[in-house]
């Protein structure tokens, strides 16, 4: 049997499998989950970090141009700044003014949200240093985007071809909470690939994106 035949058989199996699966759990295909905005364990704001502070996306999502997955940063990246930034500028300023008025020493203000970060990494905020005696626990960020396992998607290919993060994820730098911008359906992928190949997306003119079934399905 040729590999093309095998691919077709696998695809037929996929259609049947998906239909049965979709019916059994009433999965809404395609276009499911667009607008999905889960609550996260720490209220991390892209609007603040990427918008106001203008941090580069790749500073935190270090895999996006090197591997299949963009990845979510480990807490140690947050600690590059938050080992000394313990609250917002406004809250720190307020405490300074208050202390002056009351003629007392300024106290370190620890934001409630950042306290969760310190607990995750075992950082003692009284000594302002890591404490080996404190337990650590990973931050369990809730995944927003998800495509099925039978679809092959690779960040590196897109990012290195100059497809902007925003073309797929929307204006993340304006979001207080990350929301799924596109429907992540097959039509969404294929339409962009077609528009790329026909030159309709002028900033991606000259690129070639495959519309072969086997390009996206194993
Ligand atoms: C300071 C670090 C940081 C920077 C800078 C940053 N992000 Fe994030 N990003 C995170 C963290 C932490 C999460 C997980 C929590 C959440 O969803 O808010 C995340 C989540 C995401 C998600 C959702 C992932 C999922 O679960 O599906 C996308 C998409 C994303 N970021 C894109 C971007 C883009 C695009 C930029 C640049 C405009 C950017 N990020 C800049 C830290 C960062
Ligand atoms: C061509 C569309 C596209 C582009 C461009 C793109 N993404 Fe994604 N991104 C996706 C899809 C689709 C998923 C879901 C992947 C999955 O479920 O395996 C995703 C998932 C993610 C996630 C969740 C974790 C992961 O790696 O799966 C993060 C974080 C993320 N993207 C950040 C970024 C950042 C930052 C950029 C720009 C540097 C970017 N993306 C560019 C489509 C894109
Ligand atoms: C480049 C430095 C930098 C990095 C890296 C960084 N932050 Fe921040 N973050 C800041 C600054 C500065 C502020 C305060 C801005 C202000 O004054 O409003 C802040 C504010 C916050 C706040 C708001 C606190 C409050 O009380 O409202 C949270 C929560 C937060 N960061 C979480 C994170 C997490 C989680 C990460 C890692 C994924 C991270 N930050 C990475 C600089 C950074
Ligand atoms: C905003 C436009 C856009 C969207 C949306 C998009 N892609 Fe792409 N894709 C591209 C471009 C441009 C390339 C060509 C990259 C290059 O020149 O190497 C590409 C290339 C690819 C390749 C490499 C195949 C090849 O050899 O040409 C795969 C696989 C792929 N995309 C899968 C997907 C999947 C799966 C999705 C949906 C989850 C998706 N893409 C969504 C623009 C897009
Ligand atoms: C550019 C990427 C891409 C190409 C090319 C592509 N697909 Fe898909 N396909 C996807 C994505 C992404 C999904 C998942 C859609 C979802 O979860 O809603 C999918 C889902 C499917 C499903 C599951 C049913 C469904 O609609 O969700 C079948 C069957 C399928 N594709 C067959 C094919 C066949 C046959 C071809 C060739 C004619 C093809 N695909 C080409 C990306 C692609």
Q: Which atom of ligand 2 is nearest to the CA of 64?
A: 38
From the list 210, 201, 213, 212, the residue with the least C-alpha distance to 163 is 201
Q: Is the CB of 77 within 6 Å of ligand 3? A: yes
pLDDT at 22 over 50: no
Q: Where does the pLDDT of residue 58 fall: very low under 50, low under 70, confident under 90, or very high at 90 and above? A: very high
Mean pLDDT, rounded, for 78-85: 97
CA-nearest residue, atom 5 of ligand 4 = 189
Q: Where does the pLDDT of residue 24 fall: very low under 50, low under 70, confident under 90, or very high at 90 and above? A: very low
Neighbours of 94 (CB within 10 A): 13
> 116: burial class by Cβ within 10 Å (0-12, 13-18, 19+)?
middle
Q: Is the CB of 139 within 6 Å of ligand 3? A: no
Predicted confidence at residue 201, as pLDDT, reads 92
Averaged pLDDT score across all residues of the chain: 90
Q: How far is the CA of 78 from the centre of ligand 3 (A)?
A: 7
Q: Is the CB of 190 within 6 Å of ligand 4? A: no
Predicted confidence at residue 32, as pLDDT, reads 73
How large a percentage of the chain has pLDDT more than 90? 84
172-209 confidence digits (pLDDT tens): 999 999 999 999 999 999 999 999 999 999 999 999 99
Q: Which atom of ligand 2 is nearest to the CA of 61?
A: 35
Neighbouring-strand partners of residue 123? 130
Q: Which atom of ligand 4 is nearest to the CA of 215?
A: 29
Predicted confidence at residue 69, as pLDDT, reads 97
- The span from the CA of 141 to the CA of 135, in Å, is 19
Mean pLDDT, rounded, for 35-47: 97
Which range has the worst mean pLDDT, 29-33, 53-57, 211-215? 29-33
pTM: 0.92
* 19 alpha carbon, closest ligand: 5
Neighbours of 77 (CB within 10 A): 15
Q: Where does the pLDDT of residue 26 fall: very low under 50, low under 70, confident under 90, or very high at 90 and above? A: very low
Predicted confidence at residue 151, as pLDDT, reads 96
* 155 alpha carbon, closest ligand: 2
From the list 171, 155, 143, 149, the residue with the least C-alpha distance to 33 is 143
Q: Is the CB of 175 within 6 Å of ligand 1? A: no
pLDDT at 29 over 80: no
* 181 alpha carbon, closest ligand: 1
């Amino acid at each position: 049997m040729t590999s093309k035949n095998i691919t077709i058989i696998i695809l037929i199996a996929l259609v049947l499998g998906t239909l049965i699966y979709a019916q059994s759990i009433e999965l809404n295909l395609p276009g499911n989950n667009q607008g999905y905005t889960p609550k996260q364990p720490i209220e991390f704001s892209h609007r603040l970090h990427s918008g106001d502070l203008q941090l580069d996306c790749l500073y935190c999502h270090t895999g996006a141009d090197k591997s299949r997955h963009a990845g979510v940063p480990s807490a140690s990246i947050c600690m590059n700044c938050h080992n000394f930034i313990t609250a917002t500028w406004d809250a720190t300023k307020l405490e300074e003014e208050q202390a002056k008025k009351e003629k007392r020493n300024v106290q370190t203000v620890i934001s409630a949200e950042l306290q969760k970060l310190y607990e995750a990494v075992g950082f003692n905020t009284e000594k302002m240093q890591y404490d080996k005696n404190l337990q650590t626990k990973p931050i369990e960020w809730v995944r927003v985007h998800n495509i099925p396992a039978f679809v092959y998607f690779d960040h590196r290919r897109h990012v290195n071809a100059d497809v902007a993060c925003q073309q797929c994820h929307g204006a993340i730098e304006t979001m207080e909470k990350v929301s799924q911008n596109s429907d992540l359906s097959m039509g969404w992928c294929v339409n962009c690939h077609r528009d790329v190949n026909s030159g309709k997306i002028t900033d991606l003119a000259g690129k070639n994106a495959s519309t072969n079934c086997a390009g996206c399905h194993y």
